[in-house]
Amino acid sequence: MTTADAQTVVIGAGALGSAAAYWLAERGQTDVVVLEQFDLGHGNGASQDHSRAIRHSYHDNAYGRLTQAAYDNWDRLATESGQAVLLRTGGVEIGLRGTVGEEMIGRYRKILADQGHPFEAGDNALLAERYPQFRVDEPATVTFQPDMGLVDIGKAGQTHRALAAASGVTFRPRTTVTRLESLDAAVRVHTGSGSLLARHVVVTAGAWTDSVLAGAGQTWRTTVSQEQVAYFVPKALRQFTPDVFPVWGWYGPTLFYGFPIHGEVAVKIARDMSGRFVTTSTRSFDPVPEETALLEGFLRERLPDAAGFELYSKTCVYDMPPDRNFVLGTMPGHPRVVVGIGAGHAGKFAGLFGEILSELVVAGRSRYPIAPFAADRPALTDPSFTPVFAL
């Protein structure tokens, strides 16, 4: 029988990998090794910064069925660690009447109703009553969710890593995985400084997933895009603190979203999907001035008192399968390799996905309804599938 160096090797110590390591220890694994090609808590991927929006509203019940468990896991982590990683601010989603935004919010409301989550459906009057900071003169469809809020994603990763390390998990930063080799009863993990033999491997490498799995025949055509967020110091600070201002989404041809003051003395704004497709070697850490100007222009039009001076802008990368849905499953043909891909929007689910990945390793299946995110679905296995990146 093959003697393994570890029960499970986790590749990538971002939000998903750190949570997976924590949950593997919670499930009784005493020999877990996490390999990270950069320093722990690095800013090269998409697992840092102060905030990720968390909500119950989605376009499909495949997501809606998982949101409550995501909230529950963050609450559990906060109780265990004493760290406030989830902040419920309330939230609004806005779409102008007669646009794609109105249609999207209609779908979201259906999912909220299907799953039994509380919300208020209204229009401009609801927005003006709750959040007069917005300037929306055109007829709009507005939804308020009391549970909407933010996850402090950087703190969440630090917390998962601290608890995992206290339970005996070993973290090896600055260790690059070059290839995986599936054997009958183990997986050999080749790195730039040697190899390890593991009973199972969890791959949570984000934008680097394809390069990690290429040697094992992975052909999922993950697309990497360079995204950008901006922080602006409001003209009136007290109007944008979390007790009076929400996490928000603006749905239209361009999906803008933003946050109250948190982490910095500034509000955060971004848009989903800039369309700047890159690779991990060609992405830039330099913000694109045109993108910052676009975000500032939106603030000046819709949240004028938030549009003070720019504190800073920063870039990150999305890792997107062809259908931009999550991947949570065992890699076809490699029964000991479990893969987690966040598709550019998994931060809010990271605590739950860590649990799911640990279940797949320890039990071979998950108690959560993750069939839509299987690793052998047509979008991943059919080379003729046309990529669709809009949610």
- For residues 289-294, average pLDDT: 97
305 DSSP assignment = G
Average pLDDT over residues 198-202: 98
- What is the C-alpha to C-alpha distance for residues 253 and 102, in angstroms, rounded to an integer? 11
Q: Which pLDDT belongs to residue 2?
A: 56
Mean pLDDT (whole number) for 364-376? 97
Neighbours of 135 (CB within 10 A): 13
Task: Using the predicted structure, report yes or no on whether residue 245 has a pLDDT greater than 50.
Answer: yes
Taking all residues of the chain, what is their mean pLDDT, rounded to a whole number?
A: 96
DSSP 101: H
Q: What is the number of alpha carbons within 13 Å of residue 10 lying toward its C-beta? A: 34
Q: How far apart are CA 238 and CA 265, in angstroms?
A: 11
Higher pLDDT, 220 or 243: 243
Report, as an integer, the average pLDDT of 249-259.
95
Q: Kindly list the domain boundaries of the chain, sorted by start residue.
A: 6-47+154-220+322-381, 90-147+223-320
Task: Determine the average pLDDT of the residues in 154-166.
Answer: 98
**46-50, 68-72, 88-92, 100-104: which range is least confident on average?**
46-50
What percentage of the chain has pLDDT greater than the value 70?
99
Phi, psi of 143 (to 5 degrees): -125, 135
The amino acid occupying position 206 is G
CB count within 10 Å of CB 352 equals 24
Tokens (6 digits) for 96: 């102008």
Write out pLDDT tens, residues 86-117: 999 999 999 999 999 999 999 999 999 999 99
pLDDT tens column, 203-228: 999 999 999 999 888 878 899 999 99
- Domain 6-47+154-220+322-381 is classified in which CATH homologous superfamily? FAD/NAD(P)-binding domain (3.50.50.60)
What is the rounded CA–CA span in Å between residue 92 and residue 94?
A: 6
- Reading the block at residue 83, the tokens are 């760290």
Phi and psi for 302 in degrees, rounded to 5?
A: -105, -25
Task: Measure the CA–CA gap between 181 and 178, rounded to whole angstroms.
Answer: 10
- The conformation of residue 304, written as its DSSP 8-state character, comes to G
Q: Looking at the predicted structure, is the pLDDT value of residue 163 above 70?
A: yes
Stated as kind and residue range, the H or E segment containing 381 is: helix 378-381
Instruction: Give the per-residue pLDDT at 215.
Output: 86
Q: Tell if the pTM clears 0.95, that is, is over it.
A: yes
Other beta carbons within 10 Å of 368: 16
Q: Does domain 90-147+223-320 have CATH number 3.30.460.10?
A: no
Q: How many CB atoms lie within 10 A of CB 145?
A: 22
Q: For residues 279 and 163, what is the distance between their CA atoms, to the nearest angstrom?
A: 33
CB 249 within 8 A of CB 257: yes
